[in-house]
Amino acid sequence: MTDTSERRVMRVLAGERLWPPPVWMMRQAGRYLPEYRQTRLSKVNFLEFCYDTDLAVEVTLQPIRRFGFDAAILFSDIFVVPDALGYPVRFEEGRGPVLEPLKASLVDALDEERAERHLDPVIETVRRLRAELPHETTLLGFCGAPWTVACYSVAGHTTQDQTAARVGAYRDPALMQSFIDRLVTASIRYLVRQLRAGADAVQIFDTWAGVLDDAGFERWSIAPTKAIVDGVRAEIPDACIIGFPKASAARIKDYVARTGVSAIGLDWTVPASLAREIQDIVPVQGNLDPMRLVAGGDALEEGVANVLATLGDGPLVFNLGHGVTPDADPENVARMIEMVRATPDPKG
């Protein structure tokens, strides 16, 4: 087994408190970096860009070279899983992912063997990254949570508060369940392959978990996530899996207890008192408001200080409460890292 004792993120995810806490950002490889924008010009189709191993490796490494983050996260997209299964997916400039509206014939046509072959370039990207990253840098893989992926399938695109997906799940829960189940199976295999190819840990992004009511959260967020966690650990018992159910503060403790995730990502809306309670249960990641990173100046300094003061006494991976946005200034990113690493340990 690979010795990960020098990888500070992995030590925290195992429950250790380190100072300064390790730092990385969700979406740290992306449009806010001029070098990314330049690399992106080489491919018109975004999914082809994700499947190009040379380009994906380069883009993943760019923020590591520039900022020296403690972790690199695989450059890919949550929609490679449905795309690999054969579900019609495309990306439109200025609109984002567009999926064919959900229907039974599309679910019936999903092909798990095709997915294995189709995702080979992504797995090769993971292998290459582990070989090229500094030994002390943690490598993170990921997938989209089935509910979040499915949200885009009902209307064919994102909608405000995912109303189309919620109505669709109420009207035809059997169809939604069938699609979710197929995504669960494919996601288990995808994450297992990432871990075996060299990822140290993986994260499950459930960006739209917070739009669900209690029953929906149980059925569409907790149950599929637990199934993925259990499925991955059936093959890799010590797999480190981070959950990120965005905008679900009131339900996070239940999510942690029921899904079995190793650690939890906190968005910026999680109250400080609740964040500390959760940190007593599992290591936490987060939770600087990404808009403070955009604003810079006093707002950024205040936000960094508050996260460190709130969560610095326990196992913390410093991160944003969601992904870095394209309008973030790289100088603010550098300043954020500098502040985290220069803040004196309150415990002396």
Task: Report, as residue numbers or ranges, the catalytic residues.
Answer: 27, 31, 40, 77, 152
Q: Which residues of 125-146 are buried (b: 16+ CB within 10 A; e: fewer)?
A: bbbbbbeebeeebbbbbbbbbb
Q: Which residues neighbour 254 within 8 Å (Cβ) at sequence distance 6 or greater?
A: 222
In Å, what is the CA distance from 251 to each residue of 157, 244, 255? 26, 12, 6
Four-residue CA torsion sign, 133, 320, 337, 317: negative
Angle, in degrees to the nearest 10, between helices 146-154 and 223-235: 130
Helix (H) or strand (E) holding 78: none
Q: Which residues neighbour 260 within 8 Å (Cβ) at sequence distance 6 or greater?
A: 226, 229, 230, 233, 241
**Helix-strand-coil percent breakdown of the chain, rounded to 5?**
55, 10, 35
